[in-house]
Amino acid sequence: MKKNIVLFVLFILPIVAYLFFASGVNGFTKLPVIIPKIADFGQWQSLDGKKATLDNKITILGFGGTEILKNRGNLFNLNEKIYQKYHTFKDLQFVMICPLGTEGDVHKIMDAFDDFTDVSNWHFLFATPDQINAYYKELKLVGGLDANLGTPNVFIVDKERNLRGRKDQDEYKEGYNTFHPSELSNEMADDFKIILYEYRAALKKNNNASKQL
């Protein structure tokens, strides 16, 4: 009897535990919607002259502010911890909304990044202060922009234009602070992986469905 118990603990119990947690993967890998269906971008001037849209793209969205050159370390952290690891994902873009007049500062930052990074998925849009404030207000986030129309936080927006984050009894997180590299490496990286998992799982499911037809 004792031998059977030992065998159960050593071999059967770990398998049962694995199957239990494996069956619960989908339940634990759905990143909550914080703000559904946020507005798309207006016809704002872009740095590369191309139109940017949130539709059908996973977007890392940020607000650079008038002090973007002074705060370029935040962009450097985001570039190092998230962008360089995932920028080759074809449906991903990094979009920063900045005030008109900061184009020269953004060029300086991108020229510096270009020495060690493929910057093709970095996109910058420029708008008036009123336009930026109005757009941010529409997001209905808890945090606000600073006096320079910027924030160190960046936000994850899915392909359906839903702003995603953490929303439970223990934690509410609508954005990720680029001033803290550890937050990008831990919370943001974990949540971003969940988004990628969701889309890869959906793609696999759709492909299997196509094969069955």
> Does the structure show a pLDDT above 60 at 110?
yes
pLDDT score at 169: 73
Higher pLDDT, 28 or 196: 196
- Given this structure, which CATH class describes domain 31-192? alpha beta
In the predicted model, is pLDDT for residue 114 greater than 50?
Answer: yes
Would the pLDDT of 28 be above 90? no
Q: What angle do CA 6, 10, 13 make, to 5 degrees?
A: 105
- 151-161: average pLDDT: 97
- Across the range 19-36, mean pLDDT stands at 63
The pTM of the full predicted model, rounded to 2 decimals, is 0.83
pLDDT average, residue stretch 152-179? 94
Helices (H), the chain: 2-7, 13-23, 25-28, 72-78, 84-86, 103-113, 129-139, 181-183, 189-212
Q: Span 120-149, mean pLDDT?
A: 96
Query: Mean pLDDT over residues 35-63, rounded?
Result: 94
Instruction: Please list, in sequence order, all residues whose beta carbon lies within 8 angstroms of the beta carbon of residue 187, skipping any fewer than 6 positions away.
Output: 166, 173, 176
Mean pLDDT lowest among 67-71, 107-111, 196-200 = 196-200
Q: Structural domain boundaries of the chain?
A: 31-192
Per-residue model confidence (pLDDT) at position 208: 58
Mean pLDDT, residues 75-97 taken together? 95
Average pLDDT over residues 67-84: 97
Q: How high is the pLDDT of residue 153?
A: 98
